[in-house]
């Protein structure tokens, strides 16, 4: 069963938990001091289940029992604290300092022993081992997580409901870091009518297998405040309803989805309030000033600076980056999304044929490596040196390359022999796979000298 299938269907084996959503919101812990709407949104994200449960707390802490050897033996011999760290490392999860207890920030407990995935499953991640609020999770390996959940349930004879008839399967990313959230959203909306009601008939033509696999890097939330349009191709105006498409579980009625609108207004306010983290190291001010002049010459026209952001969509033919995400997302899905409840019944601006990728704001660019929309380039130096971009690479979980500005990566000539463990294979980024190409974005076309690259990188640390 594909990973996203497990995620969606696992949620349908339990009773719906939102029949009285207002009461649940009231049960969420409220701090003594008054909180802003944005603060309330972040609190709800960590305390209010937005989806039916994915698994139980005990199942999560037992997942190591499905691991291959020698990992399973190592986990069995470990202390509970060590085993908890091993779980986090295997799946790319993190505990958060903003909530007590050992539950990863990627899940919200319901107080009954169950865990529901939340937005931080993809939008919560670390840099150099430190959790950064709202950062896309470049370590997450949902494919391995869902495989292990399925294996544990098979061991325990827990049945998984069948995948809905006529809905194409949704594979998870073959590389850790990027995710296939779009494949999941397309599948869920295939069985949602314009009022967000669950249906038994497909609401638009079933996509091809290629259209159901659109691996994409998760953007940082702090970029949201600069934008009027969302996603890599900027195909729709941003709104709190639009992001709710990702919680349209097969298990929910339309009423249960619509009941979550008020919490999502608060979550949306938090998303728009997240600030980019400052670069944590020293900056050579003189070198950065040189880099600023290069940035104003070569970069500002697309990426903007400060409060000036052009939100320019660059055609695929011009930017030259991997075309899969821009070209293969079903147009019928975009129109269905925009015309229905999630698109405010057509009131949300829709741009279904952008044919390219939006040049992102570069706030906090130092923290958002690896780069490009599919996370295929490990450092800024690699991005500025197209001929040297590694075709196969691995990375450390907690290291950071301050000189090259990006993840601490090791380039490989080929995939290691006898690499049979799927989880280990996913730790090797292979740019020869569909959707994971590292080509394009050759700016400036004539290239930069090494001193100019160092200067530009130093300036980018200040954004």
Task: Please check the confidence at residue 56 and state whether its pLDDT lies above 80.
Answer: yes
Q: How confident is the model at residue 160 (pLDDT cuts 50, 70, 90)?
A: confident
Task: Please check the confidence at residue 319 and state whether its pLDDT lies above 60.
Answer: yes
Dihedral of the alpha carbons of 446, 448, 449, 451, in degrees to the nearest 10: 160
Kindly state the percentage of the chain with pLDDT values over 70.
Answer: 93
Task: Please check the confidence at residue 114 and state whether its pLDDT lies above 70.
Answer: yes
Distances (CA, A) of 180 to 164, 169, 174, 224, 297: 19, 12, 10, 20, 36
The mean pLDDT value for 72-79 works out to 98
Task: Please check the confidence at residue 301 and state whether its pLDDT lies above 70.
Answer: yes
Say if CB 178 and CB 88 are below 8 A apart. no
Dihedral of the alpha carbons of 300, 303, 307, 312, in degrees to the nearest 10: 110
Q: Return the structure tokens found at 289.
A: 């000033």
β-sheet bridge partners, residue 109: 115
**For the chain, give me the number of helices (H) and strands (E)?**
20, 12
How far, in Å, CA of 11 to CA of 206, rounded?
Answer: 23
β-sheet bridge partners, residue 314: 357
Q: How confident is the model at residue 30 (pLDDT cuts 50, 70, 90)?
A: low
Distances (CA, A) of 430 to 17, 210, 408, 425: 40, 18, 16, 9
How far, in Å, CA of 3 to CA of 7, rounded?
Answer: 6
Instruction: Could you list the beta-strand ranges (E) of 84-129.
Output: 107-109, 114-117, 125-127
Say if CB 130 and CB 94 are below 8 A apart. no
Mean model confidence pLDDT for the chain = 93
SS3 408: strand
396-431 tens-digit pLDDT: 999 999 999 999 999 999 999 888 899 999 999 999
Please state which of the ranges 23-27, 46-50, 217-221, 399-403 shows the lowest mean pLDDT: 23-27
Please state which of the ranges 60-64, 82-86, 162-166, 321-325 shows the lowest mean pLDDT: 162-166
CA neighbor of 238 nearest in space, from 331, 370, 309, 337: 337
Please state which of the ranges 27-41, 318-332, 387-401, 445-459 shows the lowest mean pLDDT: 27-41
Say if CB 138 and CB 375 are below 8 A apart. yes
Task: Please check the confidence at residue 16 and state whether its pLDDT lies above 80.
Answer: no
The mean pLDDT value for 159-166 works out to 90
| Sign, Cα dihedral of 211, 217, 221, 224 | negative
pTM score above 0.75: yes
Task: Please check the confidence at residue 444 and state whether its pLDDT lies above 60.
Answer: yes
203 DSSP assignment? S
Say if CB 178 and CB 217 are below 8 A apart. yes
């Amino acid at each position: 069963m594909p990973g996203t299938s497990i995620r969606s269907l696992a949620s349908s084996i339990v009773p719906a938990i939102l029949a009285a959503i207002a009461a649940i919101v009231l049960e969420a812990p409220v701090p003594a001091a008054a909180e802003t709407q944005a603060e309330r949104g972040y609190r709800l994200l960590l305390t209010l289940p937005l989806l039916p449960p994915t698994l139980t707390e005990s199942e999560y802490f037992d997942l190591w029992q499905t691991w291959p050897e020698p990992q399973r033996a190592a986990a069995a011999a470990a202390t509970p604290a060590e085993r908890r760290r091993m779980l986090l490392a295997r799946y790319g999860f993190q505990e958060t300092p903003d909530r007590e207890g050992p539950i990863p920030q990627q899940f919200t407990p319901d107080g009954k022993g169950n865990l529901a995935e939340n937005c931080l499953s993809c939008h919560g991640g670390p840099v150099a081992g430190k959790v950064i609020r709202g950062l896309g999770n470049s370590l997450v390996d949902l494919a391995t997580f869902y495989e292990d959940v399925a294996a544990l349930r098979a061991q325990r004879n827990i049945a998984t409901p069948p995948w809905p008839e006529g809905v194409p399967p949704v594979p998870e990313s073959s590389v850790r870091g990027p995710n296939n959230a779009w494949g999941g959203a397309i599948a869920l909306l295939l069985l949602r009518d314009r009022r967000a009601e669950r249906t038994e008939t497909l609401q638009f033509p079933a996509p091809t297998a290629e259209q159901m696999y659109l691996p994409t890097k998760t953007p940082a939330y702090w970029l949201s405040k600069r934008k009027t349009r969302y996603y890599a191709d900027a195909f729709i105006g941003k709104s709190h309803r639009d992001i709710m498409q990702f919680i349209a579980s097969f298990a929910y009625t339309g009423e249960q989805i619509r009941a979550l609108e008020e919490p999502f207004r608060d979550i949306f306010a938090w998303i728009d309030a997240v600030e980019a983290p400052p670069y944590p190291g020293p900056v050579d001010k003189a070198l950065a000033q040189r880099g600023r002049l290069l940035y104003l010459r070569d970069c500002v026209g697309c990426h903007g600076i400060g409060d000036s952001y052009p939100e320019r969509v660059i055609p695929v033919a011009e930017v030259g980056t991997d075309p899969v995400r821009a070209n293969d997302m079903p147009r019928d899905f975009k129109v269905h999304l925009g015309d229905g409840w999630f698109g405010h019944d057509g009131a949300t601006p829709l741009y279904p044929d952008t044919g390219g990728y939006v040049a992102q704001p570069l706030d906090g660019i130092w923290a958002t490596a690896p780069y490009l929309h599919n996370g295929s380039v490990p450092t800024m130096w690699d991005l500025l040196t197209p001929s040297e971009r590694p075709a196969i690479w691995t990375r450390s979980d907690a290291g950071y390359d301050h000189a090259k500005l990006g993840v601490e990566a090791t380039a490989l000539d080929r995939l290691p022999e006898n690499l049979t463990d799927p989880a280990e294979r996913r730790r090797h980024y292979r740019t020869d796979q569909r959707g994971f190409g590292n080509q394009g974005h050759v700016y400036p076309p004539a290239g930069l000298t090494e001193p100019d690259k160092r200067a530009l990188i130093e300036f980018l640390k200040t954004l």
